[in-house]
Structure 1
Amino acid sequence: MSEGKTAGSLTLRRLEVADLEAAQGLSRAVSWPHRVEDWHFVQALGFGIAAEADGALLGTAMGWRFGADHAALGMVIVAPAAQGRGVGRQLTSAVLAELEGRVVQLNATSDGFPLYASLGFVAEGEICQHQGAAFSVGLVPLQPGERLRPMGRSDAALLAQMDRAATGQERGAVLDALLAQAEGVALERDGQAVGFSLLRRFGRGHVIGPVIAPDAVAAKALILHWLGVRSGQFLRIDVPAESGLSPWLQEMGLAHVGGGTPMRRGPRPVVGPGGPQRFALVNQALG
């Protein structure tokens, strides 16, 4: 995108670190929970486009490249007073122009869905957002030969390998950044790591994700660990509906409070059969 591109009185330009305080104000205006620190995290991993008029930030959109072939699009926000003027379409199109040739995935709000559908994205399921602070937690249901162990920076390659097997995408840079600020646990079976989950500060409290596991029983064990050690604290988790975890999370005390629609433009990433699965997202922007 050329810097300073203007459409009428609207200027599209790069989103800079200096914009993130104002960007957090935009997200607050549309009832998104992101802190300034959360904006810094996603901005450092990708690039953003800002829509500006008369020196005021009116909108944002961001893109993240995963390896050579894939990408995510998110953080598309338009100030309430500027909605209905095509700002979101201009921002989204500007990001997509820089991601040309890649398979692009996003999680759409109900308001954003028609725009993305008109730009060639197709829906593929549902994301269920759960959150709460009152949990019903029993013993972590580990099977014979299983154990949970803490994860650290030395596990970066292992996390990237399991995540790639589950998503078909190269997201090593995202996982490296997560490990720098998150707590993590790995599930081992007979001494071999078969799944993991991370917990980090986000929004109103902490978010659990991603969760990569070989099956739903293992995913529950990885999630229950955090419910146990963070009992009484505000937690959030975003899970694909097809994971089957949504009813169970509600039983655990994490209310279903909404979600989004996963959408994709381009072929589905190749994921091998019988491997680990993604049971919770990093967040709705990064997938």
Structure 2
Amino acid sequence: MTDIFPETTVTSDAMPLTRDHLPQALALSRAVQWPYRAEDWAFAFDLGRGFGVEMNGRLVGTALWWPYGDDFATAGMIIVADEAQRRGIGARLMDALLADAAGRRIILNSTDEGQALYRKRGFTPFDNVIQHQAVLAETPELDPALPLRPATADDRATLMELDRAGAGMDRTNLLNALFAMADVLVIERDGAAAGYGCVRRWGRGVVIGPVIAPSDEDAKALIAALAARHVGDFVRIDVYRSGGLGPWIESLGLPQVGEVLCMALGAPPEARDGVRLYALSNQSLG
């Protein structure tokens, strides 16, 4: 490959990412075969903060982070163009991101290529995320006895608290944005929501998540009901390996196609109150 950025080229310092950068950011993600649409980039950008690096006036790297309450953050959409590799751009981006998010415990999901960079900055592994996806060919088996229903505006406060308990972080801004665009189902027990799941347009089709539930069976019920709405669509779901749902999700016709390492700077968030986060909204936002 011809090096279009010779060694004498001056590389910019990491600078704040702006909305004007988004078309070039989309091109970067497409070049590494990540399935983001322009709408997905805009959604993530509006919820967080980001940095970019330019060479010869062209965007060649991005890194974003999202604040969750006062104590936590997630980081993602960390991309360096192939032709700009091995120039310290990833390090510049991460150092700018960490300085901006200083004082927070940060989690991210790393490809094999990124792990050395993150380990050098103090990140340690705590789980894995498994990516399942395919065109869903058949309707999953549903249990009509399980008390599922669409979420209503009256559920919002309860769902926010369930999410704080299951994710271990205050993700109010993310949930407000998701609830405005996603189909949301809840499990109702004793007159109140006991768990919830979302499905929305994203990437090549739809993505299921987040899913917060008190048990594996409840999580399966939510996932199956959400998937049943999208037979014939391209369906993706990202789940924690520790949740143990991978083999069951494969039985729905959604094979595992990838796996990333979950890493944390500081102690990772912990679920409480008998609920947990089974499926992520996506790998960057958590």
Bucket of the pairwise TM-score, normalised by the shorter protein = over 0.9
SS of equivalent residue, structure 1 residue 263: strand
Q: Which residue of the other structure, out of 50, 60, 77, is the alignment partner of 2:52? A: 50
Q: Retained in 2: the 8 A contact 1:131–1:255?
A: yes
Structure 2 residue runs without a partner (length 5+): 1-8
- Deviations along 1:69-106, one digit per CA (max 9) or x if unpaired, are 11111110011100121101110110010111110000
Q: Retained in 1: the 8 A contact 2:106–2:268?
A: no
Q: Report % sequence identity.
A: 43
CA RMSD in angstroms comes to 1.5
- 1:96 is aligned to 98
Name the CA distance, whole Å, in 2 between partners of 1:142 and 1:240: 26
TM alignment of 1:136-147, pairs within 5 A: 136-141=138-143, 143=145, 146-147=146-147
- 2:198 is aligned to 198
Name the CA distance, whole Å, in 2 between partners of 1:176 and 1:216: 25
Name the CA distance, whole Å, in 2 between partners of 1:228 and 1:54: 48
SS of equivalent residue, structure 1 residue 124: strand
Shift of 1:270: 4.1
TM alignment of 1:1-287, pairs within 5 A: 8-141=10-143, 143=145, 146-272=146-272, 274-287=273-286
Q: Retained in 1: the 8 A contact 2:271–2:277?
A: no
If the length of structure 1 is used for normalisation, what is the TM-score?
A: 0.93
SS of equivalent residue, structure 1 residue 268: coil
Name the CA distance, whole Å, in 1 between partners of 2:152 and 2:16: 34
Shift of 1:134: 3.0
Name the CA distance, whole Å, in 1 between partners of 2:164 and 2:23: 33
- 1:3 is aligned to none
- 1:4 is aligned to none
- Deviations along 1:90-123, one digit per CA (max 9) or x if unpaired, are 1011001011111000011111111111110000
Query: Is 155-164 or 49-58 further displaced after alignment?
Result: 155-164
Structure 1 residue runs without a partner (length 5+): 1-6
Shift of 1:52: 0.7
- 2:5 is aligned to none
Runs of 4+ in 1 over 6 A off after TM superposition: none
SS of equivalent residue, structure 2 residue 271: coil
> Structure 1 residues 253, 98: closer, same or farther in 2, change over 3 A?
same
